[in-house]
Structure 1
Amino acid sequence: MSQITIHKLEVFCHVAELGSVSRAAEKCSIAQPVVTTHIKSLSQKIGVPLTKKNGRQISLTEDGKRIYDWAKEIVSQTRELEDELKDRKAGAIGSASIAASMTLGSYILPSVVSRFKESHAQSDISVQIANPKLASELVQRGECDFGFTIFDRVRGISSLEITPLYSEKLILAAARDTSIVGTEIAPESLSDLPFVTARTNTARRDLEDYALMTHGIVRSNIVLEFGHGEAIKQSVRAGSGIAFLFESSVKDELSSGVLREVRTPGMSLAFPVYFVRRKDKKMTAFQHKLANFICTEIGNFNQPSP
């Protein structure tokens, strides 16, 4: 059966289902003699009669019924595979592994990726959340296809293509009823206030300290240190101190009133968010489509409404 083609099997299936050479020819958009030739050729290759005439109708022999079940499965699987390959080529389905720094991976990407997934239900998408340095290393090592991370100064990563997307704002947050600070404070008065922040020698802490130093601020009263922004936020809610938190991570708390923003006139802190990928990475159509979708969505993140 080495010369049996999918086309011949498909024609045979139409004859079996429609019980007519003429209707099968019309269905396949080919001439009736071609249908007859295909059925005859198929019978010869298999070595048994597949059809028989029943008046003006064509029905299947017992062997023909068995061959029909087999042929239908082969044709169905082949067409499904062809459709899948077309979808993959068009980027409709596929797989992608994304690296993300903590704020992006915890507060921004979940809703964006979920929206993309709604229209790409068969896709396989994973997000690996890490600190900014590790997120870029995951992409660099090829463990993730691309990433989204917060850097201050990107150096020594010559193998990565780094594209800036937007700046993520840091705001000074305090518990709703705390007496630690009022609704506004001058930047020069921040140094001695009790702060909750990231652990020493982490990328997040280094970036935050560096940004404050550019405004002449060195904090002297760090009351608690945590390894994740969510823990910092919960500690501030409990009244332990105040903290600089990414605006995207506290939108719900600010809206509900459990946290409040403390204005710092004359001082604005923000870190650039980057899209990162290996320069030699050959991304699939699906990965390109997903990356472009996320870049468009978060590139407009926090932009003023028109």
Structure 2
Amino acid sequence: MRSLISQITLHKLEVFCHVAELGSVSRAAEKCSIAQPVVTTHVKSLAQKIGVPLTKKNGRQITLTEDGERIYAWAKEIISQTRELEDELRDRKAGTTGSASIAASMTLGSYILPSIVSRFKDGHVHSDISVQIANPKMASELVQRGECDFGFTIFDRVRGISSLEVIPLYSEKLILAAARDSAIVGSEITPESLSDLPFITARANTARRDLEDYALMTHGIVRSNIVLEFGHGEAIKQSVRAGSGIAFLFESSVKDELLSGVLREVRTPGMALAFPIYFVRRKDKKMTAFQHKLANFICAEIGSLNQLS
């Protein structure tokens, strides 16, 4: 048998709350823009369904019984939660709030996305956004497994993953960097002279290293003097700053160091290296309005940065 309380409408609870707060049927009727007899009927119907008196006369003022106080507190909570749910659903539909998990390869996640995501978060303070930074292959796998909603990666071989939608965004430039006072190399070098110089690079058999080696091989360069290997671009950069060698680094990761002068760019006439940057998501992924909004914002911001660079 259905509970009589389950048959109570939200409207009746709102009318009752107005009577409780205003202490008057006439003022509650005015507040609700309905006739006084309707207010009286709603309050009586509510009391009948609950089975206890809810109000009492105190002179010209209407006050609540002890049970009425309990019902009033319950009704206020129900109304508040309902309004919050309505607001949340409306905001989610509009894309103004929600949650998103982003996968990013190391350079993108460390140097490009933080400021972009932070700007978006400033305008969506109640949203929940996380960025998982991984190597390029793992970033695409996080999206493929559904652990992240979408991702940004340099890993070219994501084109071979049939379950992913892969959209090219731009090509991230690699520059040859050296410490400010390094005597290893001058301000310019020819590709033919690079092979024997001391290089700092990513660990062997990683996507970043494979792509870098392949790009150099297209220019006939096979490096013979790898002095240090690291698992993250930041470690490579710090080692270059320390003067241990030179390295090809993503332009976005060294902008601050180039501006401050702690690193300098070594020109390589006739040789330009760049890695493609992709937006990836599962083909069967149904992104929310919020996730669409965030993804479009990031793609637009990345495009703007690329146009300015």
2:200 equivalent in structure 1: 196
Identify the range of structure 1 (48-57 vs 210-219) with the bigger mean alpha-carbon deviation. 48-57
**How much does 1:172 deviate?**
0.6
1:32 equivalent in structure 2: 36
Return the alpha-carbon distance in structure 2 between the equivalents of residues 33 and 115 of structure 1: 53
**How much does 1:59 deviate?**
2.2
Task: State yes or no: 1:275 paired with 2:279.
Answer: yes
Secondary structure, aligned partner of 1:121: coil
Q: Deviations over 1:200-228 (max 9, x none)?
A: 11110111111112222222221111111
Secondary structure, aligned partner of 2:277: strand
Return the alpha-carbon distance in structure 2 between the equivalents of residues 90 and 240 of structure 1: 52
Write the letter of the residue equivalent to 1:137: E
Secondary structure, aligned partner of 1:282: coil
**How much does 1:128 deviate?**
1.2
2:158–2:164: 8 Å Cα contact kept in structure 1?
no
2:264 equivalent in structure 1: 260
Instruction: Map 1:177-216; keep pairs closer than 5 Å.
Output: 177-216=181-220
2:307 equivalent in structure 1: 303
Match of 1:219 among 213, 223, 229: 223
**How much does 1:25 deviate?**
2.0
Secondary structure, aligned partner of 2:281: strand
Structure 2's unaligned 5+ residue stretches are none
Secondary structure, aligned partner of 2:183: coil
**How much does 1:52 deviate?**
2.6
1:241 equivalent in structure 2: 245
1:125 equivalent in structure 2: 129
RMSD: 1.6
**How much does 1:151 deviate?**
2.7
Write the letter of the residue equivalent to 1:3: Q
Return the alpha-carbon distance in structure 1 between the equivalents of residues 108 and 138 of structure 2: 14
**How much does 1:23 deviate?**
2.1
Return the alpha-carbon distance in structure 2 between the equivalents of residues 117 and 246 of structure 1: 26
Relative to the length of structure 2, the TM-score reads 0.94
Return the alpha-carbon distance in structure 2 between the equivalents of residues 31 and 210 of structure 1: 80
Write the letter of the residue equivalent to 2:259: S
Secondary structure, aligned partner of 1:302: helix
Identify the range of structure 1 (184-193 vs 103-112) with the bigger mean alpha-carbon deviation. 184-193
Match of 1:157 among 157, 161, 166: 161
Task: State yes or no: 1:60 paired with 2:47.
Answer: no
**How much does 1:181 deviate?**
0.8
2:80 equivalent in structure 1: 76
Q: Deviations over 1:203-262 (max 9, x none)?
A: 101111111122222222211111111111011001011000001111111111111111
Secondary structure, aligned partner of 1:14: helix
Return the alpha-carbon distance in structure 2 between the equivalents of residues 238 and 253 of structure 1: 13
Match of 1:107 among 104, 111, 125: 111
Identify the range of structure 1 (199-208 vs 21-30) with the bigger mean alpha-carbon deviation. 21-30
Return the alpha-carbon distance in structure 1 between the equivalents of residues 175 and 83 of structure 2: 55
**How much does 1:90 deviate?**
2.1
Return the alpha-carbon distance in structure 2 between the equivalents of residues 285 and 156 of structure 1: 28
Secondary structure, aligned partner of 1:2: helix
Q: Deviations over 1:85-133 (max 9, x none)?
A: 2222222222211111010011111111122222222222221111111
Return the alpha-carbon distance in structure 2 between the equivalents of residues 137 and 182 of structure 1: 41
Q: What is the aligned residue count? A: 305
Relative to the length of structure 1, the TM-score reads 0.95
Return the alpha-carbon distance in structure 2 between the equivalents of residues 214 and 131 of structure 1: 23
Return the alpha-carbon distance in structure 1 between the equivalents of residues 35 and 288 of structure 2: 41
Write the letter of the residue equivalent to 2:17: C
Return the alpha-carbon distance in structure 2 between the equivalents of residues 155 and 44 of structure 1: 67
2:55–2:68: 8 Å Cα contact kept in structure 1?
yes
Secondary structure, aligned partner of 1:303: helix
Return the alpha-carbon distance in structure 2 between the equivalents of residues 304 and 145 of structure 1: 28
Return the alpha-carbon distance in structure 2 between the equivalents of residues 168 and 12 of structure 1: 63
Query: Identity over the aligned pairs, expressed in percent?
Result: 90
